Amino acid sequence: MAIYASDILNPSKEQRNKSLYGDYGYDPNGNNENGAILRRLSQGAGWQAAQGIGFQNQLEPNRQGAITGLVNASNPSNMIAQAQGAGQGAMSQGMQAGQGAANQLAQQGFGAGAQGGAIQGGANAGTHAANALLFQANSPQAQMQALQQMLGAISQAPGSGLEQLLQMFQPIETRQQANYAQHQQGGLSGLAGLLGQGLGAWATGGLSDGAQFAGGNPNLQWLNGVRM
């Protein structure tokens, strides 16, 4: 069943998508006014942004590590060194992403602690990604089945939240942006920018582009060509 953000806005308790409500912490039987929803969204926006970026930071290197494992399971030479190199890239990307999230949080009015947390969150995600690559490289005998399961899980990434996120925010923005902007300049537009950062990275490559890891280094070609 398709899920639309308009479900969230549906005042009818009978017609709304109760599952989606539950996913996002709403009481499906409650009287969820738009105002409350917007508060909820602006409240959660920082998290959504940080989570979106962290999501990619954490997921993509794992995914690449899994693909790498598949490709290189029979030839683990230099895997560790390559993983370490790729890990550095992941860490760098994670830190950049964290900084971006922090900037967006600042624009949303979150405090210094939240911004520092976003930066650290990016760094942690990058480190975790690098570690995952290293563990993967250390384990050339990791079972194919496990790797394929991993890939399978990651290939279902749209079901892990981003799709719902997109569907939630876009219609809400369309419907509410005018009124909201009258009251709080930069409110939802900031939200959109924030989403753009998280989701744009997803759509345009970001960490999903293995070439960012490998670059022109021929020793890291096992990372190249890995795409979503």
Question: How many residues in the shown chain lie near other proteins by CB under 8 A?
Answer: 56
Residue by residue, DSSP assigns 136-185 as HHH-TT--HHHHHHHHHHHHTGGGGTHHHHHHHHHHHHHHHHHHHHHHST
Using DSSP, state whether 125 is helix, strand or coil: helix
Q: Are 20 and 7 in contact (CB under 8 A)?
A: yes
| 132 or 199: CB nearest other proteins | 132
44 binds other proteins (CB under 8 A): yes
Hey, which residues between 67 and 106 contact other proteins (CB under 8 A)?
A: 74-77, 80, 105
18 binds other proteins (CB under 8 A): no
182 binds other proteins (CB under 8 A): no
Distance CA 126, CA 58 (A): 7
Distance CA 217, CA 47 (A): 35
Output the six-digit token pair for 179. Answer: 């009124």
Residue type, 134: L
Quick one: which segment of 32-40, 173-181, 186-194, 215-223 binds other proteins (CB under 8 A)? 32-40
Shortest separation between residue 77's beta carbon and other proteins, angstroms: 5
| 146 or 181: CB nearest other proteins | 146
50 binds other proteins (CB under 8 A): yes
At CB < 8 A and 24+ separation, what contacts does 18-21 make? 20/164
Among 140, 161, 193, 205, binds other proteins (CB under 8 A): 140
Among 29, 174, 219, 221, binds other proteins (CB under 8 A): 29
At CB < 8 A and 24+ separation, what contacts does 215-221 make? 217/85, 219/78, 219/81, 219/82, 219/85, 220/82, 220/85, 220/86
195 binds other proteins (CB under 8 A): no
Output the six-digit token pair for 64. Answer: 């690449």
113 binds other proteins (CB under 8 A): yes
Among 5, 130, 207, 226, binds other proteins (CB under 8 A): 130
193 binds other proteins (CB under 8 A): no
36 binds other proteins (CB under 8 A): yes
Q: Which residues bind other proteins (CB under 8 A)?
A: 24-27, 29-33, 36, 39-40, 43-44, 46-47, 50-51, 58, 62, 65, 74-77, 80, 105, 110-114, 116-118, 120-121, 123-124, 127-128, 130-132, 134-136, 138-142, 146-147, 149-150
